[in-house]
Amino acid sequence: MLSVRGLNAAYGRAHILFDIALRASKGEVVVLLGRNGAGKSTTLKSIIGLLRPLSGEILMRERSVSRLKPYQIARLGLGYVPEERRIFTDLTVMENLEVGRQARREDAPYWTPTRLFELFPNLGRMQDRLGGRMSGGEQQMLTIARTLMGNPAAILLDEPSEGLAPVIVEQMALTIRALKQEGLTVLVSEQNLRFAHAVADRAYIIEKGHIRYSGTMSDLESNGAVREQYLSV
Amino acid sequence: MTALAARNLCKAYGGVQAVDDVSFSVAAGEVLAMIGPNGAGKTTCFNMVNGQLLPDKGTLEFEGRSIAGRAPREIWRMGVGRTFQITATFASMTVRENVQMALLSHYRRLASLFSVAARQHREEAEGLLERVGMRDQAERACAVLAYGDLKRVELAIALANAPRLLLMDEPTAGMAPGERSELMQLTADLARDSNIAVLFTEHDMDVVFTHADRIVVLAQGRLIAQGDPAHVRADARVREVYLGSMHA
Amino acid sequence: MTASAILIQFLNGLASASSLFFVAAGLSLIFGVTRIVNFAHGSLYMLGTYMGCSLVEYFGRTPLGFWGGVLIAGLAAALIGAMIEATLLRRLYQAPELLQLLATFALVLVIKDFALWAWGPEDVLGPRAPGLDGAVTIAGRAFPEYDLLLIALGPVVLGLLWLLLTRTRWGSLVRAATEDREMAGALGVNQGWLFTGVFALGSLLAGFGGAVNIPREPATLMMDLSIISDVFVVVVVGGMGSIPGAFLAALLISEIKAFCIGIGEVHAYGIDISFSKLTLVVEFIVMAIVLVIRPWGLLGRAASVARGPGTLEDPLRSPSRHLLALGVAVLGVLVLMPVLGDAYTLVLLGDILVFALFSVSLHFIIGPAGMHSFGHAAYFGLGAYGAALALKHLVPMEAALFAGPFVAALGAVVFGWFCVRLSGVYLAMLTLAFAQITWSVVFQWDSFTGGSNGVVDVWPAAWLGSKTAYYYLTLVLATAGILLLWRMLYAPFGYALRAVRDSPLRADAIGIDARRFQWAGFSLAGLFAGLAGALYAFSKGSISPEVVAIPRSVDGLVMVLLGGIQTLTGPVAGAAVFTWLQDTIARNTDFWRATLGVIILILVLAFPQGATGMLRRRFAREQS
């Protein structure tokens, strides 16, 4: 569904990513693990086109998207949920969803506000509330719902558990599993290993802009040395 | 001798009590870590100490003088140095010039109109960079440095003030494990040798338990435990709300 | 004033507010989404007025002809705006803010000359609105029917805009992009079409605002800059990007102006105060007060931090041997010029030296200090007038030459106190406001400044009377001024200014009092701009309010930006090229403004980092 090869990226003159290679198959939940500043967010931003890569190939369903603009990539069925949530604070919940709305796609689940409110019952109860007047957990739900309105076949989730209360984190994990059930491909970046275990099928570990490890979650479970070296909190 | 004393600090935003009646103190030469889950009030506490936020209630004293509500620049003048969670340096200057700026400010020579800034306090700046292991990069622009290196430049900038109190907000975030320990070891040595009080927040428990003399734990805006590392590690409440099973 | 007079003035204010609101709402919309402060917005208003006049003549003075003409003029402005966005501004969204501004100012020049070519230099009087050309009696006084219609039109347009923005998908997209256009793009919103659409709507409002005013005001070539400074004030007072704020501010300012006219001359305590003369200044006073109390305007909010890559500046290095050698060689040639060149060359070189000093002093605050001033002409003008008036009333020329910079510095100290409290676009607008206040005072205080005639017979002392002697004086003082300013940038003071620009947070944390340094920097820049102004006054022998007007401030920006804001020598090179170019074009074509505008546009599109910045980058690449 989604594959990345030889991705290099920089902010100004600071080289951040070095030859990143990743892939995610249809219906798979893949986690990109790493610390603050390891390059997780930069990887996701490069994939969605917010940061123009120095080099490398990004393929969405075998089609190269590395030269496209973010809106074109989004319309090809790739959704992006940013770390800082970036809710439109002046817009209501319904208006936020409206901004995300795109045409129906044959190869991806079709979302309407009604269906989304089944997945996120809290949002259904505050349809006219301004984005700026929601709690962190509610905003996190809204930012995912807003992206789903684009009917994506795959989504990028940047640190969805960051700064959330434990109960909300649990809810978030359930949501991601539900999206997998719908057939969505999910690439999620995380620092929280427990959360990663709860949602992911496979993991990559990124450190200082290099992919250091890749394997299934159960392999990672049994590999204490890798966890210790790259992830010890 | 007590360097920093916080008593009964309170701060609320929009009805949420971010910090609720928190008291702690740091002695000269002591390294104090402040830990707790996200949203526990660490950053709020920290920003009250460094002058970015005004406490609703409570007192904050540095060497017996109140610092609550003073501007960051006044707090610097009293002999406090700080590093930021997200590094803040002067991107259009070299590493050495960044430290030279701090030195020029420390010696109150910033208003000079006609001397050449790059020639002022050059040796002293290089000495400070030597201490944090950045001397070989002195000529590079801060804009192109790696994140871990910027953290070290920040420490050198803070040290330029010959501080008696050092405030460090997540000093090792974004650094590799080896680098982390090295930087905090350096900080701890400095604290002991130069009798500097250090207050830092941190998420890396290895760093905290290895290098802190004492730890205060916040949760939901309240102070739930404090004491030496062994004591805090054994505290049932701390394990429940923060450490979990991994650090037992 | 009687009660009925007060009522009539109040209604007058309401009627003026409507058109002002249309134009301001358009600017605000465009700024909100694209973050471009569009100087050419006033030009679209001007085109709306001209086109409105012509179209109504063409369709005939019937109600249908009138309203058809007004609407089509608005639509034509929308089309022009969309074309400008799609062909030009779209390429500049990633460019530095000041460069975008420069490009839109180049458009002002082009459109002004287009209007000159199409409608000629004479004012065009518009027709009255057929069917609404009478007056009604209100409280015993006559009041134009058409003005009543305008009063109603303001709230109607506000309501329509509100519906469009809050009740349609397009409106949601516009508001989303205003808040975070990058995120909107990542959600699949095609910014290209959205931006073009917003530009078209904003331009429609400008053109319509101009066209609807034809029964009240003649079309003139001056109206582009006069409306744009009014509109800047309205948008800033209301809060950038806030449509209701623009409405409120348009009402507030129009009412205050109407009452100033209504009050007229007042004699109190033996002093005559002319309130009607205050109209040119009063809006800027309102703006200065509002910005100091509410730095983001009445209904505005703190600007979100700009996302996207900022331009990175290299550390300041000592000048290389080659550069020093080049500098000495240039100075050598300049010293020998009275022998080598003719009188004409000497005069041109003198102008270049004066503007090089002006440009370097502007660079001092907009480059290293990061304070984007749109009104640096204020200090040039205060220097010129200070010197000229000191010579007329007080002291000999030698002393007057130094009185000029002193007056300019005094102005910069006072204005700077307000300016350093703001940043970004708001700071830019406030500097523009102060320049405009200075201009108004100079323009209207006939008895002291000579008003629009200016001051004549401002000649240097006898021993400096020859072209050669005055050239040497200019050479010495301008070079000394430039070298002093540069030297300060290498000093701790200059570093402190850059520190505050690079990271206000860090600067504060190491004990730097940002405002105090910025204030001092602003005042010093004013001092040296004043020296340039004083030198200019004596070189020309007479000065007029033009030395303080908006185009002079923009000239300075053009010089700095074309030369390259990231280098120290760039502003000098920019001043030389610009002054020479302006002189050459002015001698060879009647449409020098348009030619200059086109050249600026080409340069901006070709070298978005400025010419010397580009040269240096290429040089660095070859070396590595």
Asked whether the beta carbons of residue C188 and residue A71 sit closer than 8 angstroms, the reply is yes
Give the residue numbers spanning the domain of B34.
Answer: 2-79+163-243
Instruction: Tell me how close the Cα of B104 comes to any Cα of chain C, in angstroms.
Output: 7
Tell me which of A74-88, C220-234, C346-360 is least confident.
Answer: C220-234
Q: What is the mean pLDDT of residues C26-55?
A: 93
**What is the tens place of the pLDDT at every residue in A72-122?**
999 999 999 998 889 999 899 999 999 999 999 988 999 999 999 999 998
pLDDT at C47: 97
The answer, yes or no, to whether residue C488 has pLDDT greater than 90, is yes
Is A158 within the bounds of a domain?
yes
Instruction: Tell me how close the Cα of B147 comes to any Cα of chain A, in angstroms.
Output: 7
C178, C211, C229: which is the final residue of a domain? C229
Put simply, whether B71 touches C (Cβ < 8 Å) is yes
The answer, yes or no, to whether residue C609 has pLDDT greater than 70, is no
Q: What is the mean pLDDT of residues C611-623?
A: 57
Q: What is the mean pLDDT of residues B89-112?
A: 94
- Contact partners for chain A, using 3 or more CB pairs closer than 8 A, are B, C
Percentage of chain A beyond pLDDT 90 is: 66
By Cβ distance, the residue of A37, A163, A232 closest to B177 is A232
Q: Which two tokens stand for residue A26?
A: 């249809």
Is C304 within the bounds of a domain?
no
**What is the tens place of the pLDDT at every residue in C421-434?**
888 878 888 898 88
Task: Report the domain count for chain C.
Answer: 2
Is C347 within the bounds of a domain?
yes
Is B118 within the bounds of a domain?
no
The answer, yes or no, to whether residue A233 has pLDDT greater than 60, is no
Tell me the three state secondary structure of residue B26.
strand
Q: What is the mean pLDDT of residues C338-343?
A: 86
**For residues C408 and C343, which has the higher predicted lDDT (pLDDT)?**
C408
C178, C205, C229: which is the final residue of a domain? C229
Give the residue from B213, B210, B220, B215 showing the smallest Cα distance to B232.
B215
Put simply, whether C428 touches A (Cβ < 8 Å) is no
C539, C558, C577: which is the final residue of a domain? C558
Task: Report the domain count for chain B.
Answer: 1
Q: C243-263 and C3-34 helices cross at what angle (nearest 10)? A: 150
Shared domain check, C330 and C225: no
Asked whether the beta carbons of residue C491 and residue B117 sit closer than 8 angstroms, the reply is yes
The two most distant CA atoms of chain A are separated, in Å, by 50
Q: Which residue in this structure is represented by tokens 């409440």?
A: B237
Instruction: Tell me how close the Cα of B64 comes to any Cα of chain A, in angstroms.
Output: 36
pLDDT at B246: 45
By Cβ distance, the residue of C315, C494, C505 closest to B88 is C505
Give the residue from C543, C557, C609 showing the smallest Cα distance to C355.
C557
pLDDT at A49: 94
pLDDT at B247: 46
Is C287 within the bounds of a domain?
no
Tell me which of A195-204, B210-219, C24-33, C444-453 is least confident.
Answer: C444-453
Confidence band, pLDDT 50/70/90 cuts, at residue C592: confident
Is C276 within the bounds of a domain?
no
Give the residue numbers spanning the domain of A170.
Answer: 26-52+69-231
Q: Are strands A202-207 and A29-33 parallel, antiparallel or unpaired?
A: parallel
- Contact partners for chain C, using 3 or more CB pairs closer than 8 A, are A, B
Is A86 within the bounds of a domain?
yes
Give the residue from C148, C41, C159 showing the smallest Cα distance to C100.
C41
Instruction: Tell me how close the Cα of A232 comes to any Cα of chain B, in angstroms.
Output: 8
Task: Report the domain count for chain A.
Answer: 1
Give this prediction's pTM.
0.84
Put simply, whether A225 touches B (Cβ < 8 Å) is no
Asked whether the beta carbons of residue B146 and residue A36 sit closer than 8 angstroms, the reply is no
The answer, yes or no, to whether residue C124 has pLDDT greater than 50, is yes
- Dist. CA A38–CA A41, nearest whole Å: 8
Q: Which residues of A touch C178 (CB under 8 A)?
A: 90
Q: What is the mean pLDDT of residues B79-101?
A: 92
From C189, which residue of chain A is nearest by alpha-carbon distance?
A71
Q: What is the mean pLDDT of residues B81-87?
A: 88
Q: What is the CATH number of the domain that holds B61?
A: 3.40.50.300
| Most confident segment among A157-171, C352-366, C442-456, C585-599 | C352-366
pLDDT at C432: 86
By Cβ distance, the residue of B94, B102, B120 closest to C315 is B94
From A71, which residue of chain C is nearest by alpha-carbon distance?
C188
Is B21 within the bounds of a domain?
yes
Percentage of chain C beyond pLDDT 90 is: 58
Tell me what ipTM this predicted complex has.
0.93
**For residues B208 and B246, which has the higher predicted lDDT (pLDDT)?**
B208
Q: Which residues of B touch A83 (CB under 8 A)?
A: none
By Cβ distance, the residue of C488, C493, C506 closest to B89 is C506
**For residues C276 and B90, which has the higher predicted lDDT (pLDDT)?**
B90
The answer, yes or no, to whether residue C621 has pLDDT greater than 60, is no
**For residues A191 and C62, which has the higher predicted lDDT (pLDDT)?**
C62
Give the residue numbers spanning the domain of C97.
Answer: 3-229
Q: Which residues pair with B217 in a beta bridge?
A: B35, B225
Put simply, whether A105 touches B (Cβ < 8 Å) is no
Q: What is the mean pLDDT of chain C?
A: 89
Top residue of C183, C195, C312 to mutate, by most chain A CBs within 10 Å, is C183
Shared domain check, C74 and C180: yes
Asked whether the beta carbons of residue C315 and residue B102 sit closer than 8 angstroms, the reply is no
Asked whether the beta carbons of residue A99 and residue C190 sit closer than 8 angstroms, the reply is no
Asked whether the beta carbons of residue B38 and residue A229 sit closer than 8 angstroms, the reply is no
Is A103 within the bounds of a domain?
yes
**What is the tens place of the pLDDT at every residue in A163-189?**
676 677 888 999 999 999 999 999 999
- Contact partners for chain B, using 3 or more CB pairs closer than 8 A, are A, C
Asked whether the beta carbons of residue B115 and residue C496 sit closer than 8 angstroms, the reply is no
> Residues C31, C23: contact at Cβ < 8 Å?
no
Instruction: Tell me how close the Cα of C305 comes to any Cα of chain A, in angstroms.
Output: 13
pLDDT at C618: 59
Listing DSSP states for C88-141 in one string gives: TGGGGTTS-HHHHHHHHHHHHHHHHHHHHHHH-SS-BPPPPPTT--SEEEETTE
> Residues C55, C191: contact at Cβ < 8 Å?
no
Q: What is the mean pLDDT of residues B26-41?
A: 87
- Dist. CA B221–CA B237, nearest whole Å: 15
> Residues C139, C3: contact at Cβ < 8 Å?
yes
Tell me which of B58-72, B140-154, C308-322 is least confident.
Answer: C308-322
Instruction: Tell me how close the Cα of B62 comes to any Cα of chain C, in angstroms.
Output: 16
Instruction: Tell me how close the Cα of C191 comes to any Cα of chain A, in angstroms.
Output: 8
**What is the tens place of the pLDDT at every residue in C528-576?**
999 999 999 999 999 999 999 888 998 999 899 888 888 889 899 999 9
Is C478 within the bounds of a domain?
yes
Q: Which residues of B touch C499 (CB under 8 A)?
A: 90, 93, 101
Shared domain check, C331 and C224: no
Is C261 within the bounds of a domain?
no
Percentage of chain C beyond pLDDT 70 is: 95
Q: Which residues of A touch B146 (CB under 8 A)?
A: 14
Q: What is the mean pLDDT of residues C12-33?
A: 93
Q: What is the mean pLDDT of chain B?
A: 88
Q: How many beta-carbon pairs under 8 angstroms link B with C?
A: 108
Q: What is the mean pLDDT of residues C227-235?
A: 88
**What is the tens place of the pLDDT at every residue in A185-231?**
999 999 888 889 999 999 999 988 999 999 999 888 888 778 777 76
pLDDT at C311: 52
Asked whether the beta carbons of residue B113 and residue C493 sit closer than 8 angstroms, the reply is yes
Return residues 100-159 of C near A (CB < 8 Å): none
Q: Listing from the earlier edge strand, what are the strands of the sheet with B2-13?
A: B16-27, B2-13, B57-62, B65-66
- Dist. CA A156–CA A175, nearest whole Å: 14
Confidence band, pLDDT 50/70/90 cuts, at residue C140: confident
Q: Listing from the earlier edge strand, what are the strands of the sheet with B222-227?
A: B80-83, B165-169, B197-201, B31-35, B214-219, B222-227
Q: What is the CATH number of the domain that holds A131?
A: 3.40.50.300
Put simply, whether C314 touches A (Cβ < 8 Å) is no
Asked whether the beta carbons of residue C187 and residue A147 sit closer than 8 angstroms, the reply is yes
pLDDT at C606: 83
Q: Which residue in this structure is represented by tokens 């100079």?
A: C442
pLDDT at C308: 35
